[in-house]
Structure 1
Amino acid sequence: MQTLLLLLAPALFAASIYMVLGRLITYTRGESRAPIRQRWLTKIFVGGDVLSFLVQSGGGGLMAQAKSQNMGKILVVAGLAIQILFFGVFTITSGIFHWRINRSPTSESASTPWAKYIYALYAASMLILIRSLFRVIEFLGGNEGTLMSNEVYLYVFDAVLMLGVMVIFNLVHPGNIIGRKVQDDDIQLSDN
């Protein structure tokens, strides 16, 4: 159960990151600069994330039983490989969008501070990719491997990296581009 919970959390971070890029494209009115249309972007990458999530959770479930542990490890590694593949394509997609909108800015992108969000996406994406690569290497090393048998590696290459993702998105909170920011004068207090 512990392995399953540790494996699946970053998939939820990734889904949030996919949503942020979609909102960033909308915020800058840069859909013509995106290699994948905004409405398909989230569907494609979240779909890949769901597939990765299901394969990893199936593998994690099989690892709970002694007789199916090897098959479980294979499925976990396959799920992580799917996650890395989709995340790599997402990072390339983000880079293409960034390059195109810098080369040919929209009027919205020229007048808004959108770049900090794309850099936050890059930083968070790299942390998640490093974490996923670590997990692949860890599972390929087996239960007796150095990475699996020493807890410090889990803290450094999983917990600290995922904490880093949370810190990044707290410092560069995407609420401004998602439209959830409330101004003080928008708050109405009732007399009741």
Structure 2
Amino acid sequence: MIAFRYLVPLTVAPALLTGGIYLCLSRVIVTVGAEFSRIKPKMYTYIFVGCDLLSLILQSIGGAIASMANNTNSRDLGVHIMIAGLISQIISMIIFFALWGDFAFRVKKAKNAGNLTGQAPLYENLRADPSFRWFQWSLFAATLLIFIRSVYRVAELWGGFQSHLANDEVTFMIFEGPLIIIAVMMMTAFHPGRIFDGLWVSAGKGYRFTKHGDTGADDKIELIERQWQ
């Protein structure tokens, strides 16, 4: 029973990391250009954090059932629920990758065609900062590592706790702890709070600066909500 109790936080913890990644990508999209995204930036938070919440609930319920089970049938039921939660997380991450890749492709295409216009002036310095580019790569790498780990966890639990993979220490030491540690280190090295600095809140709300009036020193600059095209 003690082993099962350790299994629950080990299984559900990465879902909390992906929730943070979803929040970061929505702000990256606002910074780079929301017009290149298939869905509204805020929808990344609503949709994928919601999927993460569902995954967390299923994994927690499954883990609780497995940890308190006093017979094989109850234990297997808990494991199956945990697997369902992990699979839902994997599916949501695949969709997330697809939307992210489509966004990156459309930005690259517009850049090559010289059509990168309409980007919010508020984030001009942020876009020009090399750290912002490294932040995006670190975000992608961390997401990929968490995805690989989640696939491993499904394979591990699929055969039950008595399977060879579930009891293989070498694969556990490769695909469990190290992948998450590296992902956390990358997200810490390029922490969004440091990269975005004072623009984190405005990017989360989809704000940009717009100039009115003439082009002199007295131009009025006001904060407005970005309209969805």
Q: What is the CA-CA distance between 1:112 and the residue it aligns to?
A: 4.4
Q: Does the alignment pair 1:66 with 2:84? A: no
Which of 118, 125, 136 is the equivalent residue of 2:136?
118
Q: Does the alignment pair 1:166 with 2:184? A: yes
1:43 alignment counterpart: 46
User: Is this contact kept in 2: 1:22–1:38, CA < 8 A?
Assistant: yes
2:98 alignment counterpart: 92
Q: Which moved more, 1:162-171 or 1:143-152?
A: 143-152
Aligned partner letter, 2:106: R
For the residues of structure 2 that align with 1:8 and 1:36, how far apart are their CA atoms? 27
For the residues of structure 2 that align with 1:60 and 1:19, how far apart are their CA atoms? 26
* Greater fraction strand: 2
Q: Which moved more, 1:37-46 or 1:145-154?
A: 145-154
SS where residue 179 of structure 1 aligns? helix
TM-score for the superposition, normalised by structure 1: 0.86
Cα 1:110–1:156 shift into 2, 3 Å: closer
Q: What is the CA-CA distance between 1:110 and the residue it aligns to?
A: 6.2
For the residues of structure 2 that align with 1:2 and 1:153, how far apart are their CA atoms? 18
2:17 alignment counterpart: 13
Paired residues, number: 180
Q: Percent identity?
A: 33
Give unpaired runs (5+ residues) of structure 2.
111-115, 200-229
Q: What is the CA-CA distance between 1:117 and the residue it aligns to?
A: 2.6
1:184 alignment counterpart: none
TM-score for the superposition, normalised by structure 2: 0.73
1:19-38 CA-to-partner distances (Å, cap 9, x unmatched) read 1101111222x111111211
Q: What is the CA-CA distance between 1:177 and the residue it aligns to?
A: 4.4
Cα 1:110–1:60 shift into 2, 3 Å: closer
Q: Which moved more, 1:161-170 or 1:148-157?
A: 148-157
Aligned partner letter, 2:21: I
SS where residue 162 of structure 2 aligns? coil
For the residues of structure 2 that align with 1:7 and 1:171, how far apart are their CA atoms? 24
* Greater fraction helix: 1
1:78-121 CA-to-partner distances (Å, cap 9, x unmatched) read 00000000011111111111111222235448634443233222
1:47-75 CA-to-partner distances (Å, cap 9, x unmatched) read 00000000011100110113310111110
Which of 151, 155, 175 is the equivalent residue of 1:133?
151
Give unpaired runs (5+ residues) of structure 1.
182-192
Q: Does the alignment pair 1:25 with 2:29? A: yes
User: Is this contact kept in 1: 2:22–2:44, CA < 8 A?
Assistant: yes
